[in-house]
Structure formats: C-alpha cells, structure tokens
C-alpha cells in the first residue's frame, strides 16, 4: 500500500477574489506562500518520501516550499492532477458562474465534468502509487501530491460514493487529505485541514 496525501495549493489573488482559475496559471500570493509553509510544518511531524505536483504554477510553488522544508525533492510534475478545465466559465467570479450556469455540475462549453476530473486524477494517483511501490518495495511509501481544490473534491467525491465532501464544505488552501492506495483501490483515510 502507498499513503498519498493530497494538499491543496496555497492562496492566489484569484482565490481571494473568488474568481475561477481552472487551468489559468496564477501564482501564489504572500498568504499562499504562508499557507504552504504552514502545511509543511504540519507535515513535518511524519515521514514522507517524495513530492509530486500539478504543472500549474500555484501548485508547483506550494510543492517547492513543502519539499524544501521537509528536505525532499519534487519528484514529478503530473499533468493529470491539474485543476479542472472550466471552459467558458474560467475567469468568472464564483457568483457570476453560479448565476450563469446554475451549479458546479452544469454543462459549460469547453469545461470538464467533475466525473472526468475524478477519472483522470484517480488514474494519475494510481500511477504515482505504482511508481512509489516500485521504488520502495516491499514497504509502504508516503507520498505528498500538491493539487487543486476541484481535483481533490472530485477524488473525495468518487472514493466516498458521493457522500463527501458535504455540500457547501470548502477545501481550504493548504488543507491535507490522506488516502491509501493499492492496486485497484483508493480509500480516504482522513481530512485534516491545515489552519
């Protein structure tokens, strides 16, 4: 088994403004860098072996801050853990998106569905776990994966059978969510938001 901890990147100016980022490559702001430092401090109490990240700048910078604090390297950039593509909704304020499209499950021109995001992200997480097992067999490996709120939400939704996260629950910047992965199996162990 491989332990995977998914960490949401630190805050950006678009997060602060409640603007939908999607695949738009927005950097961390200073609060976001502090989110990453707090996440690293929280993670320092346990042992981890590798860090992977989404290719988007906000996730890569978060991963670099965490890896530096933990004395690890960023082992890989994984395109399939990038944020959801929001198509025509990208760049809109959240309230404008909701008033235009109705909800997060709406069909938006050029956007991915939450199900598509979950499928690609879960496949990528299994690939990361397989790579970790090959490197460290036979013992379990603990891997950190810096991703995005939409990706983490889609993975949690999938593995919980649609019961989590609860409606209206916000996945905070810098929050951590632990999973265990084995061939054909992914289970949520705990959600531990970093404050």
Radius of gyration of the chain (CA): 16
Long-range contacts of 110-117 (CB under 8 A, 24+ apart): 110/85, 110/86, 111/22, 111/84, 111/85, 111/86, 111/87, 112/84, 112/85, 112/86, 112/87, 114/84, 114/150, 114/153, 114/154, 114/157, 115/154, 117/84, 117/150, 117/151, 117/154
Is 158 assigned a catalytic role?
Answer: no
Sign of CA pseudo-dihedral 49, 55, 116, 18: positive
**Active-site hit among 9, 49, 158, 177:** 9
**Active-site hit among 3, 49, 61, 83:** 83
Angle subtended at Cα 12 by Cα 179 and Cα 154, rounded to the nearest 5 degrees: 30
Is 83 assigned a catalytic role?
Answer: yes
Which sequence positions are flagged as catalytic?
A: 9, 83
């Amino acid at each position: 088994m491989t332990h995977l901890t998914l960490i949401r990147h630190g805050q950006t100016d678009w997060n602060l403004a409640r603007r939908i980022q999607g695949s738009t490559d927005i950097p961390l702001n200073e609060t976001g860098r502090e989110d990453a430092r707090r996440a690293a401090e929280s993670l320092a109490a346990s042992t981890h072996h590798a860090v992977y990240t989404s290719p988007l700048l906000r996730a890569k910078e978060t991963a670099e801050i965490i890896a530096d604090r933990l004395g690890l390297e960023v082992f890989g950039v994984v395109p399939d853990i990038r944020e959801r593509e929001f198509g025509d909704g990208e760049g809109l304020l959240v309230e404008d998106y909701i008033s235009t499209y109705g909800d997060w499950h709406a069909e938006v021109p050029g956007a991915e569905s939450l199900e598509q995001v979950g499928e690609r992200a879960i496949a990528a997480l299994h690939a990361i776990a397989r790579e970790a097992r090959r490197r460290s067999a036979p013992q379990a490996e603990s891997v950190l994966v810096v991703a995005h709120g939409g990706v983490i939400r889609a993975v949690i939704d999938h593995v919980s059978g649609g019961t989590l996260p609860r409606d209206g629950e916000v996945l905070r910047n810098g929050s951590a969510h632990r999973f265990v992965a084995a061939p054909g199996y992914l289970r949520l162990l705990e959600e531990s938001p970093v404050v």
